[in-house]
Amino acid sequence: MSVRLTELSYGGGCGCKIAPAVLRDMLAGVPMAQAFPDLLVGIESGDDAAVYRLNDEQAIVATTDFFMPIVDDAFDFGRIAATNALSDVYAMGGKPILALAIVGMPIDILPLETIRQILAGGATVCAQAGIPVAGGHSIDAPQPIYGLVALGVVHPQQIKRNNQARDGDVLILAKGLGVGILSTALKKQKLDADGYAEMLHSTTQLNTPGGWLAEMGAVHAMTDVTGFGLLGHLLGICRGSQLAAEIGFARLPLLHSARQLAQQGFVTGASKHNWQSYGDEVELAPSLTEWQRNLLTDPQTSGGLLIACSGDAAQGIVRRLHSEGFAHAAIIGQLRAGAARVFVR
């Protein structure tokens, strides 16, 4: 009897991430790497990747990401996991150069051909990004796990951090929200073919605009929206930059199928944990309902870039994102002086 990949995991994709509040407590006693002056980005602001300066012209971007299946198709799972892992390099403004595979598989349960298809999916995405999967590590594990160590390069003066936003910056989101809700419907076998195609397109679209966004002085901060949801990653920008954010729910780009499924009550457990972790730093308009809040905290797997830029550059950035296939890209709000907090209208 065939086994559905999603049946072997208690959570899929970036919904597997440890809740933000728990993660903060875990890292509270970890010493900062202050003895390494060439470590330009470490764990201090919860940024997307580490960055280490090699010389005045080059820095290495290093990250790793892996998770349990979000879909049942093995090849698609590999593609999604690899796209998600490479996203952190793009979110720092870097260009990927190399990947290593992280593989944990229940060898006695999954057919070897299924595992081969997962690896093939990841390799296909890396080929699209123009990089090799040059090695990796594998273990026999009770639940299937796949991801990448991703390495990239960036000019030290073009790093895009999550803590350099400025008062008055406009906020742009490059992909639609709702991946977690769609994956929940899929696991319950309630997602139709159109919804699956929409989810797959979003989660396998490489965030390559990070490269040209890094070259723009008008772009001050950047991150990608993944497991902590839009509110969680926006709060990361607010805390690091010591600013408040105001966004409009009606301006948020939503995956077409996600709105209806959210209204029907589909929600991930991670969404609820996210809200418990940072809800006291968010002010929601009284008119917003629970399904709308669930979309704001929905864990995104391979989500879109969240960009803080000067107002005069925002429309041009959105137009270019549209021209490169990011049809959902939209201006969603603005940053302003104030305590780190998000207001949703």
Q: Which one, of 46, 49, 13, 12, lies nearest residue 277 by Cα?
A: 46
Question: 45: number of CA atoms within 13 Å, CB side?
Answer: 27
Phi, psi of 9 (to 5 degrees): -130, 145
Task: Write the DSSP symbol of residue 71.
Answer: S
Question: 41: number of CA atoms within 13 Å, CB side?
Answer: 29
Q: Are 114 and 74 in contact (CB under 8 A)?
A: yes
Phi, psi of 265 (to 5 degrees): 100, 5
Choice among 14, 126, 238, 309 that is catalytic: 14
List, in order, residues 6 or more apart from 114 with CB less than 8 Å away.
Answer: 5, 74
Q: Decide if 14 is catalytic.
A: yes
Tokens of residue 36, six digits: 């390494």
Catalytic residues: 14
